[in-house]
């Protein structure tokens, strides 16, 4: 019985000792009062943990050391950390509070570790591209997407289009958009990209008011591509017609304005083709009617 009592007393004494140490650790240790007080330990009650949103990016040399020879492990761990940065310990952080200059460094580090992965680009474009302060933050997004696509345009051309979207619609920077659109249009022919990537510079030029140049690009696409699907051809013909109409209005207001003759020529060719098609269809209808009449006459003769 004495051993049991001794065991419990020793346990209580240990708890009391640890509790006392915790109290002093939390509140600090001070000796004396007033001006003669001596602070032995400040205490940790007012100390807050460092909950920075985006950690400082390491140097290239440090990254090599931190990977311990396993680039993929460090890439996946760091990409996960960047994805959840600012949303740990029960908190949520608005994108406008992130340091995009530091984020950009992390994105480039991750690209250096694995330039093939498609994890980081959509995270950058679709998530970090939604910042509430686009003028300040989106240039970093656009720079990253462009440089990521530059590594392999044939496989990564989609991120040019995303950079164009952010530049044109969010920043209204048509000059930067045109440079990106030209890169997109120049991707290798065997990249398997749809035809609209070749048309992108025309869309940006139109937005800038350069209708002649926009029309010329579409004309060149029609000239250089022999197997254009009917839907694509209809769209491009519609594009040209609309721009021709706009240019005609411009010519009324500005006599010196000149319309590219190739734009007019392709419209005339389209009209001629449609007229021939309509004539052919009318001829077929007429032949069908004459055939029906002959069939009816022959049936009447048989009855007689």
Question: All domains of the chain, ordered by start, with CATH?
Answer: 2-41 (no CATH), 60-258 (1.25.40.10)
Q: Cα(162)–Cα(122) distance, rounded to whole angstroms?
A: 9
In tens, the pLDDT along 80-98 reads 999 999 887 778 899 999 9
Task: Using the CB atoms, write b or e for 1-16: b if 16+ within 10 Å.
Answer: eeeeeeeeeeeeeeee
69 pLDDT higher than 60: yes
More confident residue, 140 or 42: 140
Confidence of residue 298 (pLDDT cuts 50, 70, 90): low
Give the pTM: 0.70
In tens, the pLDDT along 262-272 reads 666 666 666 67
Cβ–Cβ under 8 Å, residues 144 and 125: no
Q: Cα(76)–Cα(73) distance, rounded to whole angstroms?
A: 5
């Amino acid at each position: 019985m004495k051993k049991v009592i001794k065991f419990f007393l020793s346990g209580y004494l240990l708890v009391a000792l640890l509790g006392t140490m915790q109290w002093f650790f939390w509140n600090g240790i001070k000796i004396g009062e007033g001006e003669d007080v001596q602070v032995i330990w400040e205490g940790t009650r007012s100390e807050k943990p460092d909950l920075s949103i985006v950690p400082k990016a390491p140097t290239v040399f440090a990254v090599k050391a931190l990977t311990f020879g396993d680039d993929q492990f460090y890439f996946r761990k760091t990409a996960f950390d960047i994805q959840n940065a600012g949303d740990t310990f029960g908190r949520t952080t608005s994108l406008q509070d992130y340091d995009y200059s530091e984020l950009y460094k992390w994105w480039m580090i991750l690209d250096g570790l694995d330039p093939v992965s498609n994890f980081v680009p959509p995270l950058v474009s679709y998530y970090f591209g939604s910042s509430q302060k686009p003028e300040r933050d989106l240039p970093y997004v656009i720079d990253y997407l462009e440089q990521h696509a530059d590594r392999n345009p044939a496989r990564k051309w989609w991120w040019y289009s995303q950079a164009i979207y952010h530049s044109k619609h969010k920043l209204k920077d048509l000059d930067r958009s045109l440079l990106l659109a030209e890169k997109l249009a120049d991707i290798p022919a065997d990249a398997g990209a749809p035809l609209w990537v070749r048309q992108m510079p025309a869309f940006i030029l139109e937005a800038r008011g350069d209708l002649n140049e926009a029309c010329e690009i579409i004309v060149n696409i029609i000239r250089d591509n022999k197997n254009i699907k009917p839907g694509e051809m209809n769209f491009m013909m519609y594009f040209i017609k609309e721009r021709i109409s706009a240019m005609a209005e411009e010519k009324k207001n500005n006599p010196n304005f000149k319309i590219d003759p190739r734009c007019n020529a392709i419209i005339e060719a389209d009209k001629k083709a449609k007229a021939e098609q309509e004539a052919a269809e009318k001829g077929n209808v007429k032949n069908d009617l004459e055939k029906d009449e002959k069939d009816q006459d022959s049936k009447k003769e048989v009855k007689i």
